[in-house]
Structures are given as C-alpha cells and as structure tokens.
Chain A
C-alpha cells in the first residue's frame, strides 16, 4: 500500500501475501521518523569511524610519484572544498577500438604531457639596456622531446607577434619596442611558462595495463582538454579534482564525485559506513548550487541565523554585521535554541499543541 512502486510490483509478482506484509513491515521500519535528526546521526556515523583512520598511505598503481593526500587529510580537503588541492590526478581510458592498442595509448600519452618552453632551454636572460630578452635553446633537450628547432622558432614568432623576434642558431632574442623593465620581467616569466605541446596542467603520464586494457594515469588535471581528445572515451575520464568537475560538468556531477571520493576513502581504510550518510554529506556540500566547504567562508556563511553563525567562528564580525544590517534570527536551528535554552525543533520538540491558551491570563 505504502510501498514504492518498484518494490510493490516485485512483491506482487510473487503473489505471496505473507511476503508482502513482511516486506511492508520491513519497509515501514526502515523509514525515517518525522523529526529524526538525520544530520546529527550522519555526522556521528561519519565522525566516529574517522577517529579510527590510520595515517598509513596506500599508493596507486603506476602513479607512485603522485602526492595525492589520503585518509583524514583528504577528507578535510573534500569537506573544506579547497581550491588548491594537493596531488591532482586523472585516470584516462581510451575508446573501445583503441583500448588494446599500445601505440595509440603512447600517442595519447605524448599528446597529453605538457611541455613548457623552460624544459627546452638553457637560460633566459634579460638585457635591460636594450630592452630585450635572450633565450638560449638547448639542442639536447629538444632532441629528447622530438622538437624541431625551426618549427619551435616559428611557433615562438607566432606566439610573440607583438614583439620583434630575431633568431640566430640557438639564441632567440625578443625585443620590446618600448615598455618598463617590470613588463620585461613579466614577459620573461610568461615565456618560460609558454606551452609548446600537450595539455596544460598534465605533468606526467604513465601507461599501465589492466585487464587487457591500456589505461593512462596522469599527474595533474585538466578535464576539459582531455575530454576533447578524440581517442579518449570521454564518458570514462576520471579526475579527483571536484572543483574542476563542478566547473565542467555541473553541480550534480560534483555531488556524485564527492560521494564517490568519500566512499572510496572510507573503503580504502576498511571502514564501514552506510552510503546514505555519504549521500547526505554530498548533498549538504552542494545544495546551494555550488560546491561549498564546511567552514566560515562556505556553508556557514550561507546560514540565515545570526546566532548559529556566531556560535561557530568569529562571533564579533558576525554580530557587527548583523547589527549594522538589522538582521533578525528566527531561532529555529538547534544551536540557537540551546543558546537561549529553549527546546530544540527536533524529535519531541518538533510538535506543537494546536490549542492556544488565552494570552495574559497567568
């Protein structure tokens, strides 16, 4: 009667009344009662196993160099929604027709790995008096990376159209017509970080064979560009950077990514927590339409209640702002009610009596 449609159909198919009532009983037992503080239960259910987390780090196959944080630091990273996260990496799978082909995998790996100009040169120096930058190319390095010198110089000339570029054997000079020395320094840094080949942000790529399939592990992350590569199966690209997923694929994708990351984190540690707790946590982190961390700049800044915000961190600026803007607090959350010592709106405190006593008579 009360059962969800899918379960109802399944049970009715068996045509067993006993089973039906059994299933119904179970279903009703599993339903959460109104007023059940699921947030607190989730916090406790996740928080208690977290105290048992060990700081032993397990390394992934093929990316031993990766600095990805694991265990508790990773959990803090996810729940704080850090922009600058440590050890970003991607797992890239190829389309079905290429996935057994090592040559394609190697080609893609070469395409992926970023190559900056600073990897191909000996030195970049500045001549302040003549307003120019002198780049000294390194032929050995260029040979190792399979870069043609004339093509590189052509590329440099194309990229630095605004300036005069002269080249003489291994020396390339970039001459500024006018400009301050500070511009010269800025340009020098930009030239050093100039992308010659590959995808920006992908530091290193390793290929590994798993179940007759070649999989690419990349250190660094650039979801948008990797998905554009035709040989790559863009439905199976993985990155551990949730902020990036939010930006490229949207908030629902980010929510799923948070769920998967946290679940994997706890499973790796051998801790057993119900999936629904992770779902709720992922929901909370994304329910304002953007991925916000549990800190005073993120979720707590979005709260309506002045008292709950003040109870968390930095009460003085919060009271100052509230008094300047004339904010009001409806005293609905549990921490507010504890501050003024009133019953909280949870559990037994959720219900009102509909009969209203006459006012002002004792």
Chain B
C-alpha cells in the first residue's frame, strides 16, 4: 500500500514503506541533516505523509524517549546548571525535539518519567507546560480554583507597569506608568526568566480584617501615610492628535490662534495656553475643555466659487480640546506629517495619578477590589513590632472564592520579607507550607501568620489574632478619575432632542424602564413625569379637527393648516418624542388626530 507524500501541501510522490520513511526522516532531523523545525506527520485515514516546513506553525519542545528511557540524563541537567551545555546543544544532540500539532498526533507523550510505557515516544519537559507565560507567573496557582486562575491572569495585562522602556518617545492614547515597580517576593519559576519585563506591581503589607465596614463587598482600605510615601503612585499619559485637513477647492484648515470673529469661538480664556503658532506650550497645565491646538476650518457647505465667502459664510473653529474630566501637564508635542501629506500634530498630556477612592487594585489570584476608604496613617491598626498594614483586605472575600493561593502567598510574603529572600511559589514545585510555617516560627512569629494587632482608636488589643503578611498587589488601569461624570444641562441629540449618551459627549444618565417602574411603584407620578421631561416641547392642537396647528410668528397668530381653524387652538405640553412620532406618521400618510380633555 503506497502512501502519498506532500511537502507543504504540494504532492511530491509516493512512498511504499512509510514507517521506515518517517523513522529515517526523524533520525536525520535528530542528527542535524534536516533542520529541526521541519515536521513530518502521518495521516492513516487519508493515507498521507505530510512534511511541513512553513512558518506560522506552533512548535513545542519535547524530550525524546528511546527504549523506555528519556534521552535527557541527570548528567546533562547538571551540565546545564553549570553552564557547560546549552539548549541548542541539546537540540543538536537529538535530546530535545520541536514538534508541531500535526506531528504530535502520531506521538505518545508521557507527563512524568514514571508514566513511560512500552510505546511512549516522548516526555514532557515539565508539567508546568500546561500554563501559558502569563499564567505561570501566578504563585501557588495549583492551590486555587481553576476559575480564579483565569481571573487572576487577566488583570496582569491591565496593570500599571513599565510596559516599554521607550514610553517617553511613544504616543499611546491611554497609558499609565508605575513609579516604583517591584519584584514580587513570592515568585515562580517564570518570574526568574522574565524578571526584567515583569515589574507590574508592588509588595504591600496586607492585614486580613475589617475596619468600620469600609472594605465591604471586595473594597480595600488603604493607609493614607502609605499613599503619601508613594505607594502605587503612577503617571498617566493621554495622547491627542489633530490633522490640518485639505478640502475640495484648494481650501484647508489653518493652525493658529483662532480669530474672535469666527463661528463657534470658545472665548478668549480657552485659548490662553496656546503659543503664537497655535499649539499649546510645553509643561503648561491644561484642564478640561482647554484648547491645546487652535484650528480654523473653512465653512462647511462652501462651493468652489469664492463668492460665498463674501456673502456671509464664516469660518469655523475646529480646535482640539482636552476631553471632559481630563487634566495634566503638556508632556510632549510633535509636529509631523500624516500618510496623506497633511500636517499632523500630536500632543501628549501627563497627569500624576495618586491612588484615590474608587481606583481598582488586584492580587494575582482574582481578588480584585476598589479602594473604599483611605484611612489616616495614625488610624491604621499596628502590630506589636510597629508594622502598620498598607492595605486592609476583607476576610469575606476568601470563603466563597476559595483562593488558598492568596493565603499561601500572604504567608510566603511574610517569610520572604522577614528573611530578606525570595520565596518560590511555583505551582507543584514551590516551597512547602509546612516549611514556611517552621521558618516563620523560627523567626519568632506565630506559625499561622497571625499577629496581635492594636486598635488605633482606643489603643486596645484586638481580641482576634489578625492574619497579616505581604502580598504582591497590582494597580489596574481603571481609575475613578477617568470614569467620573455628571451633568446638569448639556448637549442634546438633533433628532429626538433628548440628552446625549456617554461620557465623551457629556451625556446624561439614562432613566430607563426599570427605574421608571420604581417611581411608578411608589405612586409618585408627578416626579415620574418630571424625570422624563428632558425633551419637553409645546405643540399646538386644533380642537375642531385634531391635527397639529401651526404658529405663524410673523402675523402672530395660530391656525390649523388642515381645516383653517384659528380660534379653537390649544397649547399642549408633550414630550418631543411624541411630537416626532406624530410627524413621522403624518409623513407616511397617516393622519393622527388628538382629542383634548382636561386632566386635572
């Protein structure tokens, strides 16, 4: 039975004894004749032998097993640790092999050396291989529930950190840089590998307790003196850009301080930070709605003729302003050219972000929370050695989530910070809980990590022993300052005359169906009417025929365009949405008629 052979999906010929062929191929790859990233696989169903050399395949390393013994010996490992051997040497020796998903289908891979059976072909390098890069950074994750592992990994990507060392040359829209990033005390195998890239948080002293209930529902209590000493301080960058656009007819925008005569002029005060070239000066402190680039656009509906300029169409202000609620120092200005050849101005604004009420924090076990209270440093409980926690974490978060990794990290963090060493928290291979407890005991502490804490208000001992230690906390990019929004009056949408939606448009908060039912359930009908009167409008109704009447402002009279009635016309206050509905019905040929009656 001959099998077809394909090289990168191109048919190249037949092979009779396919098993020998594949064995030969693999041996030649192991001896270096064929490159190590070329894979061969057998498809029994389709009777095909496939050879893959293309890029984009995901490969993973495996230890080759021969005659029930892995080729990687203890001597090799010792040599590796002494630096006499390297990974690529192992590849050349044929000990390690790179396998793609298709070739893996034909293999029998054992997880541990004990699992090797007669037909085993390969051995996993480590059982940690089931974790990805981000997941492997979480300590003691084998002690957690699997769902918590997922939730613990996601925030790593959202944390304040130094994401790139050239951040001051980049113009990212929404970026935070942590001031003093630290190595985690409790770290894993992967932390050692990525130790320069993985500075994403800080080690803080955490007490698992409550204080006046301000850490209810996953909130955190933070010490004010810790914040004043610079804990989780970060700098926030936001970039703005504006283009000098060209329009049909040779017209284009002008960059510069706009003339007060133009349309939509914002008032002199808003342009005060601009230099003569129309661009904001460096290191000036700008706040919401301040103009940072002055730009004047030609009139909107201008034709090609220059006539219309003289007939009163005015130029328009289209300046770049700071977003609502944003403020900060102008950090950097770049004038460059866009791909279309237009002048492009990029401005980066820098803002110092000190932790405040509502900022989001997390540990690496999916225990996220926002600051519920910032307590004066003197009002934070202290231990007999004078340690005051930076963060007070609620114990109510532990029982239902079952994040025992967090408790172990707390214990490990305590041991590590007291002994001045890193604690290995690699899943399955990390330090043992019993060992950590013994070490803590030898340091003169209780072995379960609890301590006597003193009430800061009365000076009394707390009756309960408080679990206190060190955790690696991350500050996440969701900050209260970026979310805060309120409005009394503001812009409305053109079609419905209702308030706009969303923070960027200074929108209102929607009072919707369920809220409406709450008021209705209380029977407060007048308040309900008021809540929905954001689009109040006055219409005129002809009482003899019921159609909408017209107001003639020139002759100062009311008349009905349908029946000509001028006397019996009433003013009615309804929502504009309803008026719009009536008008839309009229426009499709339906004549809605209103019958008026006194309601009160």
A11 to B520, CA, bound (A): 37
Contact residues of A between 320 and 362, Cβ < 8 Å to B? 323, 328, 334, 337-350, 352-353, 356-357
Complex contacts, B528 vs chain A, CB 8 Å: 338, 343-344
A35 with B517: CB separation less than 8 A? no
Binary interface encoding of chain B residues 514-533 relative to chain A, with 1 for a CB under 8 A from any of its CBs, else 0:
00111011111110110011
User: Chain B, 337-374, contact with A by CB distance < 8 Å: what is the 0/1 string?
Assistant: 00000000000000000000000000000000000000
With a 10 A CB-CB cut-off, give which of B525, B533, B598 has the most chain A CB atoms: B525
CB < 8 Å: which of B524, B536, B585, B598 contacts A323?
Answer: B585
* A343 to B529 Cα, complex, angstroms: 5
B599 in contact (CB, < 8 A):
yes
Looking at the complex, which one of A37, A341, A356 makes contact with B523 (CB distance below 8 Å)?
A: A37
Q: Which B residues from 476 to 532 make CB contacts under 8 A with A?
A: 516-518, 520-526, 528-529, 532
- In the bound complex, CA of A353 to CA of B535 (Å): 27
**Counting CB contacts under 8 A, is A3 at the interface?**
no
With a cutoff of 8 Å between Cβ atoms, the chain B residues found around residue A1 in the complex are none
Measured CB to CB, the nearest residue on chain A to B517 is A40
Bound complex: CA of A328 vs CA of B575, how far in Å?
Answer: 19
Q: Within the assembled complex, what's the spacing in Å between the Cα atoms of A347 and B522?
A: 7
Using Cβ atoms and an 8 Å threshold, which residues of chain B touch A323?
A: 585, 590
What size tier do the contact residues of chain A reach? 20 to 34
Q: Does B87 contact A (CB under 8 A)?
A: no
Whether B520 pairs with A344 at a CB distance below 8 angstroms is yes
Residues of A within 8 A of B430 (CB): none
A44, closest chain B residue (CB): B521
Q: Closest Cβ of chain A: how far from B585's Cβ, in Å? A: 7
Contact pick for A341, options B517, B524, B578, B590, CB 8 Å: B578
Cβ of A271 within 8 Å of any chain B Cβ, yes or no, is no
Interface string of B572-600 (1 = CB under 8 A from A): 01110110010001000010000100111
Q: Is there contact, CB below 8 Å, between A340 and B574?
A: yes
* A43 at the binding interface (Cβ < 8 Å): yes
Q: Closest B residue to A311 by CB, please name it.
A: B513
Residues of B within 8 Å of A347, CB to CB, are 520, 522-525
Contacting residues, chain A, for B524 (C-beta < 8 A): 347-348
> In the bound complex, do residue A340 and residue B575 qualify as a contact, i.e. CB atoms below 8 Å apart?
yes
Check B533–A341 contact: CB distance below 8 A: yes
Q: When the two chains form their complex, are residues B517 and A338 in contact, meaning their CB atoms are under 8 A apart? A: no
Cβ of A35 and Cβ of B532 under 8 Å apart?
no
| Closest A residue, CB atoms, query B518 | A44
Q: Which residues of A contact B522 (CB under 8 A)?
A: 347
B403-441 contact mask (Cβ, 8 Å, vs A): 1 or 0: 000000000000000000000000000000000000000
Residue contact B585 to A44, C-beta cutoff 8 Å = no
Please report the C-alpha to C-alpha distance between residue A43 and residue B521 in the assembled complex, in whole angstroms: 10
Name the one of A36, A338, A349 contacting B516, with C-beta atoms under 8 angstroms: A338
The digit string for A24-62, where 1 denotes a CB below 8 A from any CB of B, is 000000000001110011011000000000000000000
- Residue A20 at the chain B interface, CB threshold 8 Å: no
Also in contact, A342 and B574, with CB within 8 A (given A334-B520, A347-B525, A349-B525)? yes
Size of the B side of the interface (Cβ < 8 Å), in residues, is 28
Provide the bound-state CA to CA distance between A338 and B529, in Å.
Answer: 7
Least distance between B548 CB and chain A CB atoms (Å): 13
Contact A353 B575 (CB under 8 A): no
Residues of chain B contacted by A163 (CB below 8 angstroms): none
- A234 at the binding interface (Cβ < 8 Å): no
Which B-chain residue is minimally distant from A40 (CB atoms)?
Answer: B521
Q: Give which listed residue, A337, A341, A349, contacts B536 with CB less than 8 A.
A: A341
Q: Which residues of A contact B573 (CB under 8 A)?
A: 341
Q: Does A319 contact B (CB under 8 A)?
A: yes
Nearest-CB residue, chain B, relative to A310: B581
What separation, in Å, do the CA atoms of A341 and B585 have in the docked complex?
18
Closest to A38 in B: B521
Complex contacts, B578 vs chain A, CB 8 Å = 339-341
Which residue of the partner chain, among B521, B523, B575, B600, contacts A339 with CB atoms under 8 Å? B575
**B residues less than 8 Å from A343 (CB atoms):** 525-526, 528-529, 599
Contact between B598 and A346 (Cβ–Cβ < 8 Å)?
Answer: no
User: Inside 8 A of B520's CB, which chain A residues have their CB?
Assistant: 37, 40, 334, 344, 346-347
Residues of chain A from 126 to 144 with CB closer than 8 A to chain B in the complex: none
Instruction: Compute how far the CA of A352 lies from the CA of B600 in the bound complex, rounded to whole angstroms.
Output: 5
Say yes or no: A348 contacts B523, CB within 8 Å: yes
- A340 vs chain B, min Cβ distance (A): 4
Q: Which residue of A lies closest to B577 (CB)?
A: A339
Residues in chain B near residue A342, CB distance under 8 A: 529, 574, 599
Q: How far is the CB of B594 from chain A (nearest CB, A)?
A: 9
**Contact in complex: A338, B590 (CB < 8 Å):** no
CB distance from A68 to the nearest CB of B (A): 30
Asked if A319 and B585 sit within 8 Å, CB to CB, the answer is yes
Inter-chain CA distance A339–B576, complex, in Å, is: 9
Asked if A338 contacts B598 (CB within 8 A), the reply is no
Structural contact, A356 and B598, CB atoms closer than 8 A: yes
Q: Which of A37, A338, A353 contacts B532 (CB 8 A)?
A: A338
Known: A323-B590, A340-B575, A352-B600. A346 touches B523 (CB 8 A): yes
Instruction: Tell me, in angstroms, the Cα distance from A360 to B147 when the chains sit together.
Output: 70
Residue of A nearest to B593 (CB): A328
B600 — nearest CB in chain A belongs to which residue? Answer: A353
Contact B525 A341 (CB under 8 A): no
Contacts of A357 in B (CB 8 A): 598
Q: When A37-B521, A44-B517 are in contact, do A341 and B526 touch as well, CB less than 8 Å?
A: no
Q: Which residues does chain A contribute within 8 Å of B533, judged by CB atoms?
A: 341
Chain A hits for B532, CB < 8 A: 338, 341
Q: Which 9 A-B pairs have the closest CB atoms?
A: A347-B523, A349-B525, A341-B575, A323-B590, A343-B525, A40-B521, A340-B578, A344-B525, A340-B574
| A-B residue pairs in contact (CB < 8 Å), sample of 20 | A36-B523, A37-B521, A40-B517, A43-B517, A338-B528, A338-B532, A340-B574, A341-B529, A341-B533, A341-B535, A341-B536, A341-B577, A342-B574, A342-B599, A343-B525, A344-B525, A344-B528, A352-B599, A356-B598, A357-B598
Residues of B within 8 A of A (CB): 516-518, 520-526, 528-529, 532-533, 535-536, 573-575, 577-578, 581, 585, 590, 595, 598-600
